[in-house]
Amino acid sequence: MAEGLNFSLPEPKKRGSLGNVLVVLLLLAVLVLAGVNMWLTLKGAPAEVTVDGSLSAEKLKELAGKLAARNLYEESARVWKQYLEAAPLSDEERARTLFRIGDMLLKAEKPQEAIEYFYRSEMVKELPDLTGQLNANVKEAFENAGRFAALRYELMDRTTYQPADNASNASAEVVAEIGPEKITQVDLERLVEEQIDAQLSQMASMMPPEQLNQQKERMLSQLASPQNKIQILSALMAEESLYREALAQKIDDDDRVKRQMRRVSRQYLAQLFLQQQIEDKIHITDSDMQTYYQANQSSYKEPAQALISHIQVATEDEAKKVIQRINDGEDFAQLASELSLDETSKNNGGELAPITKGRPIPGIDYSKELEDKIFSASDGAILDKPVPGQKGSHVILVRSIIPERQQTFQEVQDDIYQTLTTRKRQEAQQELVKSLMDKYNIVIHRDAIMKDTEKTKDNK
């Protein structure tokens, strides 16, 4: 009998394990490659990260160096900042880059911004090979910024002669109290510096920045003694107490006071705006000063001077007798001490302060004839005739003549700087004021004022 049909499915054949192994190995290989790539990136392998889709980190580094080599320091600092964001850096590399940014900003004459990046560099990682240069740069930055009070504490923090803890304690020491408020040593230094800055701001147009900084440093050193600090602090506290009491008495609510405060505020803001606008337009170069000096040398001549001595007596006849005694061989200085009525000079051989050609001699009647005699006399000569004066008669000894002298450029360059600065400031101010008056349609009716003045005169 035929066998029945078998409708059961055949059992699947078992696959060997080789296919599975290959799949697993392939996956492992992919993971390993990905891990290697990530590790290389974290280790700082040359990255092709771009900023704004333009330059890689390495190209940014190259660009920053090239800009610095061309003295484009501010632009170099900006590119170093981009590099800092673009490149995966270690702490040491990041600290060095921050230092470079500070160095570029310092060279770009942005000292306060530079200080921030020097501090950032130190906080990321201390770099022993850069410590000396960083300290020098920080000192220079504070000096260039004119922050001499802050520089004092900065140097105390950085020098080995006084520990940082002592410096911090000194700056935080309380020197005055206003109720619960504490005024520390560093607060006092800041207040003193602010007052000096306010005074020097009035001289800013007449001095180059270097000279202003030198003047500020001198003023700070003069006020550095404990006695001067106590006087300044006492004055500041007196002013503060008066100010607070004025507010308590509501003096500032008075309408007249409000008008005056508004007037002062207007004047201050107008002056501040004028100073800010003009400051950037005044650039006096060494070439400008040299050109001005060459064109105005005659204005920079020291006139001739004469060194003279005198014996003052009551009458002309007495003066003639003194001249005769000197001609007979008696000593001028000895006679001056015995006979002169001028108590100021008699014990000094009759010597007077140097006299300048073209200017009167104190106590002696000026005449062109007398001046010509003095400046044409030989050294050590006695004028042959008595010279009339306001109180008696004078015997004149010409000790020596100092001839006219052309002053050198180095001697007068500060005066020239002030002259050119004042001139350019006036020109820039006139130009600025005219443009603003045109902008705000300001018209001054001079004729109306003149007519009103004439009417007032007629009525009188």
Q: 128: which strand partners?
A: none
- Per-position b or e across 203-232, b if 16+ CB within 10 A of its CB: eebebeeeebbeebeebbeebeeeeebeee
- Asked if the 304-403 domain carries CATH number 3.20.20.70, the reply is no
pLDDT computed for residue 164 by the predictor: 41
pLDDT of amino acid 10: 44
Residues of the chain with pLDDT under 70: 1-54, 148-149, 151-153, 155-172, 202-208, 452-460
Amino acid 292 reads Y
Distance from the Cα of residue 398 to its chain's centroid: 47
Assess contact for 326 and 415: CB atoms under 8 A.
Answer: no
Q: Classify 377 as helix, strand or coil.
A: coil
Burial 122-132 (b: 16+ CB within 10 A, else e): bebeebeebee
| Residues in contact with 177: Cβ distance below 8 Å, sequence separation at least 6, in sequence order | 183
Per-residue confidence (pLDDT) for residue 354, from 0 to 100? 93
Q: Which part of the chain is CATH 1.25.40.10?
A: 50-145
Residues carrying CATH 3.10.50.40, the chain: 304-403
Give the Cβ contact number of residue 15 at 10 Å: 8
Q: Which CATH superfamily is domain 50-145 in?
A: Tetratricopeptide repeat domain (1.25.40.10)
* Residue 154: predicted pLDDT: 72
Which pLDDT does position 375 carry in this prediction? 94
Cβ-contact 326, 339 below 8 angstroms: no
What is the Cα 83 distance to its own chain's centre? 33
Q: Is 413 exposed, middle or buried (CB count within 10 Å of its CB: 0-12, 13-18, 19+)?
A: middle
Confidence at residue 366, expressed as pLDDT on a 0 to 100 scale: 80
Task: Give strand pairing partners of 177.
Answer: 182
pLDDT of residue 453: 66
3-state helix, strand and coil shares in percent for the chain, rounded to the nearest 5 = 65, 10, 25
Picking from 176, 159, 179, 177, the residue whose alpha carbon sits closest to that of residue 167 is 159
Helix axes 164-172, 185-201, angle to 10 degrees: 70
Q: How many CB atoms within 10 Å of residue 151?
A: 19
The whole-number pLDDT of residue 458 equals 61
d(CA 252, CA 261): 9
Which residues does residue 328 pair with via DSSP β-bridges, in sequence order?
Answer: none
